[in-house]
């Protein structure tokens, strides 16, 4: 297993990426499972400053960086020596088994959609977010922005992919799937939700519990919460402000602290044939360590094979 890491992505690159790699190795993982992509001299210098020899770590040099605010498609096309472009090249050619980056999100999405095949049968890949539950658990909300308009069949696939991910990566046994809606009863909602309900109800690969409302997002009612990317994105960005506000107001509340989404170490793109994990731009060492961990777990558990199976 080899996981490629974009060392130049994120606001604190490559320093915090290096720190994350050091933390990951300190957890007992072999450096042989990693392949770092980025400015080789700078990366080696950071390792040296932290008192680590980078001799045993494989580094692929890249002398271009895609900035956080560059136009994704344009940048990927023009900067073929960027760490993101090189990373996708390695992944697509099978030289590595997963690719993670805290860099330009748009470029990561475009790179994934254009270089990595969709899982067999998947209409469109999706991105999700962890939702901290009030009872201490975690839920999964998807889609959170990759698909602003969806068909019922897509939501049905999100439910399956989310379920498999919740089971194998989040460790939730028989995850309860809820359809985000404006009312509890079947038949409620907009046309999309109305048409999606029967598909979820008849889907034997998921444990569908029915509609859930806005008030249920933070309760333990559903583990996997499904909606199109418009609603999901707005919910996620709204939830992020809860953390910001409670910090600003000095509330120091353990639960609201869990709305600091950078803790969760990135989100995978689900529905593509290889693991790609995207981190927040503000990722620090812990986030990088967690992102590598998510990628490793995705490879070890065979989560993508299970998704493919359940999507049939």
Binding interface with a second copy (CB under 8 A): 134, 145, 148-149, 180, 182, 189-191, 193, 213-215, 217-219, 227-231, 233-242, 245-246, 249, 251, 253, 255
Query: CA-CA distance, 244 to 304, in Å (whole number)?
Result: 34
Query: CA-CA distance, 25 to 296, in Å (whole number)?
Result: 13
Query: CA-CA distance, 106 to 59, in Å (whole number)?
Result: 24
The least CB distance from residue 188 to a second copy, in Å, is 8
- Region of residue 88 (left: phi > 0; alpha: psi -120 to 50; beta: else): alpha
C-beta of 225 vs 311, nearer to a second copy = 225
- Region of residue 179 (left: phi > 0; alpha: psi -120 to 50; beta: else): beta
Residue whose C-alpha is closest to residue 79's, from 27, 126, 127, 37: 37
The least CB distance from residue 73 to a second copy, in Å, is 14
The least CB distance from residue 176 to a second copy, in Å, is 18
C-beta of 88 vs 264, nearer to a second copy = 264
C-beta of 162 vs 189, nearer to a second copy = 189
The least CB distance from residue 106 to a second copy, in Å, is 10
Query: CA-CA distance, 189 to 194, in Å (whole number)?
Result: 6
Structure tokens, 309: 């199976």
C-beta of 3 vs 177, nearer to a second copy = 177
Q: Which strands, in side-by-side order, build the sheet including 126-132?
A: 58-61, 34-38, 3-6, 98-101, 276-278, 267-270, 126-132, 138-142, 224-226, 176-180, 207-212
The least CB distance from residue 183 to a second copy, in Å, is 9
Count of CB atoms situated within 10 Å of the CB of 109: 18
The least CB distance from residue 255 to a second copy, in Å, is 6
C-beta of 28 vs 250, nearer to a second copy = 250
C-beta of 26 vs 234, nearer to a second copy = 234
The phi, psi pair for 278, rounded to 5°, reads -110, 130
The least CB distance from residue 85 to a second copy, in Å, is 24
C-beta of 102 vs 193, nearer to a second copy = 193
C-beta of 128 vs 231, nearer to a second copy = 231
Residue whose C-alpha is closest to residue 289's, from 12, 14, 27: 27
User: Angle, nearest 10°, between helix axes 285-301 and 303-310?
Assistant: 60
The least CB distance from residue 276 to a second copy, in Å, is 21
Cα 82 to Cα 111, 129, 200, 288, distances in angstroms? 12, 27, 42, 19
C-beta of 44 vs 223, nearer to a second copy = 223
| DSSP character string of 205-249 | TSEEEEEE-GGGTTSSS-SEEE--HHHHHHHHHHHHHHHHHHHHT
The least CB distance from residue 267 to a second copy, in Å, is 15
């Amino acid at each position: 297993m080899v996981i490629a890491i974009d060392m130049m992505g994120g606001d604190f690159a490559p320093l915090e990426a290096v720190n994350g790699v050091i933390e990951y190795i300190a957890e007992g993982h072999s450096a042989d499972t990693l392949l770092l992509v980025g400015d080789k001299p700078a990366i080696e210098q950071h390792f040296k400053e932290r008192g680590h020899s980078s001799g045993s770590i494989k580094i692929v040099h890249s002398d271009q960086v895609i900035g956080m605010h560059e136009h994704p498609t344009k940048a990927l096309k023009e900067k073929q020596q960027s760490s993101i472009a090189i990373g996708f090249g390695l992944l697509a050619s099978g030289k590595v088994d997963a690719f993670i980056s805290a860099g330009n999100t748009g470029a990561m999405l475009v790179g994934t959609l254009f270089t990595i095949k969709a899982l067999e049968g998947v209409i469109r890949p999706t991105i999700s977010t962890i939702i901290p539950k009030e009872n201490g658990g975690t839920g999964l909300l998807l889609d959170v922005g990759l698909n602003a308009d969806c068909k019922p069949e897509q939501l049905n696939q999100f439910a399956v992919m989310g379920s498999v991910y919740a089971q194998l990566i989040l460790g939730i046994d028989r995850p309860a799937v809820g359809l985000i809606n404006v009312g509890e009863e079947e038949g409620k909602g907009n046309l999309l939700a109305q048409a999606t309900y029967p598909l979820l109800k008849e889907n034997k690969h998921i444990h569908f519990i029915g509609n859930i409302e806005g008030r249920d997002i933070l309760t333990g009612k559903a583990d996997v919460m499904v909606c199109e990317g418009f609603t999901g994105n707005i919910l996620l960005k709204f939830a992020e402000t809860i953390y910001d506000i409670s910090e600003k107001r000095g509330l120091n509340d353990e639960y609201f602290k869990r709305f600091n989404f950078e803790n969760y170490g990135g989100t995978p793109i689900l529905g593509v044939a290889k693991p790609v994990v995207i981190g927040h731009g503000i990722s620090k060492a812990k986030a990088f360590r967690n992102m590598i961990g998510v990628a490793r777990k995705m490879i070890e558990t065979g989560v993508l094979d299970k998704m493919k199976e359940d999507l049939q």
